[in-house]
Amino acid sequence: MQINPRMLEKEFMVRCKLHDCGAACCIYGVWIDVLEADRILKNAHIILPEMSENRRDTSHWFDGREDLDEHMPSGRVVHSRVVDNQRHYGGTECVFLRSDHKCALQTAAVKAGLHPWALKPFYCVLHPLDLDEKGRITLDDAGLMLDEPGSCLRPSIVRVSLLETFEPELRFFLGDQAYEELLLLVP
């Protein structure tokens, strides 16, 4: 993967904290590569204990929508089911979101001794980053996001490199060596 040059900029923003936002990013669910969905289903035995009882039916984990996505290895994505929850930001949430605001896919991976993101869909790990028209990792204009109570970004009193702000995600996608090389390019 590559990054958009915008990722070398510094901005007055930092990431939210899960206890502050309550996983507001999970409001609409997520598009999942069909290969990722298959991996999730194959690991249902470790995911099920992490989910509330009313969400353990694997036939209800995806909502039936399917679309094309040129950035995904399979070229096709399915959507996670979105469920009503008036206690969550916006009143809905992804089926994999737990009541403690953690993702069942992530907690299952950790308990199984895997990388925390081993079962998480690409677009979940990427968020709030995005892919530009060339498929490079980028951050859209964050001006409106900083004013949104449910945003994954918060204002900062100092300018912070986007590479630093999104270090865990970038190391995961690019690898440690490529990430370290990018740090040398930050003005």
Q: Left if phi > 0, otherwise alpha if psi is -120 to 50, otherwise beta: which for 175?
A: left
pTM over 0.85? The answer is yes
The per-residue pLDDT for range 26-45, each reduced to its tens digit, is 999 999 999 999 999 999 99
Domain spans in the chain, listed from the N-terminal domain onward: 5-183
Cβ atoms of 186 and 163 within 8 Å: the answer is: yes
- 68 pairs with which residues across the strands? 76
CA atoms within 13 A on the CB side of 50: 24
Q: Which is nearest to 25 in space by CA: 99, 117, 88?
A: 88
Which residue type sits at 123? Y
**Each residue's pLDDT tens digit in the chain (187 positions)?**
899 999 999 999 888 877 778 888 899 999 999 999 999 999 999 999 999 999 999 999 999 999 999 999 999 999 999 999 999 888 999 999 999 999 999 999 999 999 999 999 999 999 999 999 999 999 987 666 677 777 788 888 999 999 999 999 999 999 999 999 999 988 7
DSSP state of 3: B
Helices (H), 44-174: 44-47, 104-111, 122-126, 143-147, 162-165, 167-174
Predicted confidence at residue 142, as pLDDT, reads 62
